Amino acid sequence: MSAASCPALFLSAPASGQGKTIVTCGLARLLTRLGKTVRIFKTGPDYLDPQILEQASGQPVVQIDLWMAGEEWCQQQFYLAAQVADLIIVEGAMGLFDGEPSSADLAAHFNIPVALVIDAKGMAQTCGAIAAGLASYRDDIDIVGLIANKCGTNRHKELIEEALPESIPLLASLENSEDLALPERHLGLVQASEVTDELERRFELAADYFQAEGVGEILEKFRPVNFYPTSVPEVNPQLQGVKIGVAKDAAFSFIYECNIQLLRDLGAEVYFFSPLSDAHLPEIDALWLPGGYPELYAKQLAENKTLLEELKDFFQGDRPILAECGGFLYTLETLTDLENQQYPMAGLLSGHGAMRGKRGCQGMQTLPLPEGEVRGHAHHRSRSDETAEPIAFGRRQRHVAPGEAIYRQRRLTASYLHLFFPSNPDAIARLFKASNKH
């Protein structure tokens, strides 16, 4: 099969918090206004940014990570997008060179040009020094321009432009305005479904800024990139006819769309339900309780007693359950929320969950499950106490210390880790396979 070519641009920055997401959203919104189909990829294991990016572009957003997903899987996702998109934008994670693999590694691997996003508040000519330093740090990436965020005045913009090397032009700027800031909370950005109208207003405003400056120079930096098909193994339908219930609502929304697609490729029938509002589980053989924000809805979850009783019956029936992070907290005896109020949870596992301050745990890990190794990541600001002995611990990507504890009671598998199902489809099939389904 031949390559699919599509103009692409990688938006990265010297650090987190520079405004990559609002820049990506504003640019994508303007391009969609112009009739372009824009496919956005988000670097790393992020759940919140992709929700927002999807709303801005009107297209599905795929998380892309060379370690968690593997080179061939990432390449296949780009290849598929290139066949339907007019333009591809990749939003980086953290700073350009942060992490292993980093945004720079991803850009270099797929030969995608990089535009820097820099928060210019409190500096001017120094933007030029930062851009020049980033551009010269490695010779396998191509930095093609700068987008300045939080510019105070036209003169501020001029000072930045004058200080940039000729090879790194100023492509555009956004004003220093609170109206362009995206709503945040303790784990990052607020979920798109909670602030849809507010996000729309900010997307349109950012798009207006780009339109006023003209996007011609930015469009010139989208370089055609050839994305090639890969020999990703075909998934065997090992879960044919297995009905899997997936918790999905404001409390449980940290779901990779590619995880859902893999379950369907494995032959499973997927049924969504809401632990917040549904009194009964759907008629299912297995259950997935993903991460999310149960701490924000602990009282409402605790009051849905009928569903909690059905969860206990499901657990006692030795049917498969996967509980990740927020889903894991939901399976414990109690959960203490951000206001230090304690509420009863499902009590499938012994132990108590509680939120803590700003310090948290995050990072890539491999889960050595009895069914096989699956890659994933941790990102939480809670703790669990008085839990049972774990069956294993996650293996950190770059550190010898034990990772997150993994618990197994009956057919329930629980951990703080979020699994990336495509990293081992066979293990996922074994994990969800009901005892009466062969």
Q: Which residues are catalytic?
A: 325
What residues form DSSP beta bridges with 151?
175
